[in-house]
Chain A
Amino acid sequence: MVFKGGRSMKVSLQDHVLVPKHEILKEEEVEELLKLLRVSKEQLPKIKASDPIVKEIGAKPGDVVKITRKSLTAGVSIFYRLVVE
């Protein structure tokens, strides 16, 4: 956000209560995950590289993002998404 005087303020999406935690998975972690699920990368759910949260954490197409959400049924639930163009 840029204010009148040219001062800017960085707003972190991750700080918002409604945005769940997103983090980039390390190479080995991705390997392990794919092996556990017995899937190829393409069979994971997708997220666009242009998604604001993806830009914020700096994930690139091909990365896998781990999302930790609060869940009504399970308390905490973990989700993975492949970053695509």
Chain B
Amino acid sequence: MKLDTYAEITWCPGCGNFGILTSVKNAINELIKEGIPKEKFVIASGIGCHAKIVDYINVNSFYSIHGRVPPTLTGIKLANKDLVAIGFVGDGDIYDEGISHLIHAAKRNTDITIVVHDNGVFALTTGQFTATSPKGFKGKSTPKGSIENPLNPIKLMLVSGATFVARGYAGKPEHLKELIKKAVKHKGFSFVDVLQPCVAFNNTYNFYNKKVYDLNAEGHDTSNFEQAMKKADEKEKIPIGIFYETQAQVFEDHFN
């Protein structure tokens, strides 16, 4: 099924968002084939380059505001828990502006999927450091380099109670598609941090191409929380795949 809209895609050529868009469309298409009716999908986004993705996919969507996707999706599930809710957020969007919502959505175990387009930069505002920019990041607001250490989203989500924690890479769309499918099928709060090169302000293709490896191919035990925490600390090589997966009661199921 073609999931395109007539909207003109305005991302920079070569942007990592293209890889994410392809993965998402393929994932949704396969999930439709597997039996989820198309009208059940609802996607939402924050504000930033990443957020434009909702305009590019022809399913129900709520183009929300900066940082607020988790509550938007939680509300959608509260009203109708049969809907399949997927959020597309930016690193600035969700690790800066809306971080409290992300933590609480994980803690609640709302049955939603959050896909972070983690490019380590505020891209749409033309390049400032975010919570995941490395220390020393030279952006327009930090000409001498950022003085802050980045936070570790995988560890943050693990300790916040997320029941599905994964990392993908925009440069590996097939792997990312599989991750997104698993995240959507997981009943509970699913978190996928996607390493996303931004060719304009933080071009990380070469860096990630050299460093990423599939941790699930190396026999990582996704039911082991401590192991997941350790893997989340790896920096020399960067693991992608599912770090941790568990089952717990879902927020909206507590209501009649």
A binds B: no
Binding site for A on B (CB under 8 A): none
Binding site for B on A (CB under 8 A): none
